[in-house]
Amino acid sequence: MLIDYRLIYSSLPVFFNAFLETMKIALVSGILGLMIGTVVATLCTFNSKVLNAFVGFYTGVIRSTPLLIQLYFVHFGLPVLGIMFTSFQSATIAFSLNSGAYISEIVRGGLASIDNGQHEAAKALGLSWYQRMSCIILPQVFSRVLPPLIGQFSYLIKDTSLAAVLVIPELTYASRRIASTTYRPIESFGIPMLMYFALYFALSILSNSIAGRVKRRERVAAN
């Protein structure tokens, strides 16, 4: 038989735990990455030379080096300097710094696309910088950059497979172990593929529902 269903059945618990681990890494890194990206992008709006140089350095380093090297650097390089992390911590730090750099570029583009009149109207009403950003500017930015943002998160989900090199029992690591003990590559790698797809699918449903909510609100108002 091409597919051994008993093997699938017996390995499901392992895969399911690995799936949860992958989801955990992606979720934590995604949220941290979004926060880092948003903060870094707003730093750029101050037009300070020092801040811009810092941001340029950060995004430059992240974008010009492979994620795997960044992961190795955090996990094996930083301990030499006396900074130790568990495998899970190293993975989420590397992944959130990495996606944060790309997200900051996306958010920066979104910020630049907001008409200056929005800033001015909010200022003229007496709103503070923080109120302007949180109530007026960023909500508009996020609804504009939702598609590229979702794209970035889909990369992040797949990139979490690199955590396998730190022996974190996530999907890729689990599939390699099961493949090497059972010699059944179709099942061993097919199941995680489906599970990665399921994560992506959940993400796209989430993004559609966010986009749909805004539209629905406006339609309700029109009637």
Partner 1 sequence: MSEVVKIKSLNKSFGKLHVLRDVTLDVEESDVLVLCGPSGAGKSTLLRCINMLEHYQSGSVEVLGKDVRSSRRNLSFVRKNTGMVFQHFNLFPHKNVVENVTLAPIKVQKIQKGAAIEIAKDVLSQVGLSDKFNAFPNQLSGGQKQRVAIARALAMNPKIMLFDEPTSALDPEMIKEVLDVMVRLAQEGMTMIIVSHEMGFARQVANKVGFLDNGKVIELTETQEFFTNPKSDRTKEFLSKIL
Q: Is 215 a binder of partner 1 (CB under 8 A)?
A: no
Which CB, 1 or 221, lies closer to partner 1? 221
Q: Is 17 a binder of partner 1 (CB under 8 A)?
A: no
Site string for partner 1, 138-177 (x = CB under 8 A): -xx--x----------------------------------
Angstrom distance (rounded) from CA 28 to CA 23? 8
Which CB, 88 or 129, lies closer to partner 1? 129
Q: Residue 187 corresponds to which tokens in the numbers above?
A: 């099942």
Q: Is 136 a binder of partner 1 (CB under 8 A)?
A: yes
152-161 burial code (b ≥16 CB/10 A, e <16): bbbebbebbb
Cα dist from 213 to 106, 110, 169, 199, whole Å: 22, 20, 36, 21
Q: Is 131 a binder of partner 1 (CB under 8 A)?
A: yes
Gyration radius from the chain CA atoms: 21
Q: Is 216 a binder of partner 1 (CB under 8 A)?
A: no
# of chain residues touching partner 1 (CB under 8 A): 24
Name the residues that contact partner 1, by CB under 8 A: 115, 117-118, 120-128, 131, 135-136, 139-140, 143, 214, 217-218, 220-222
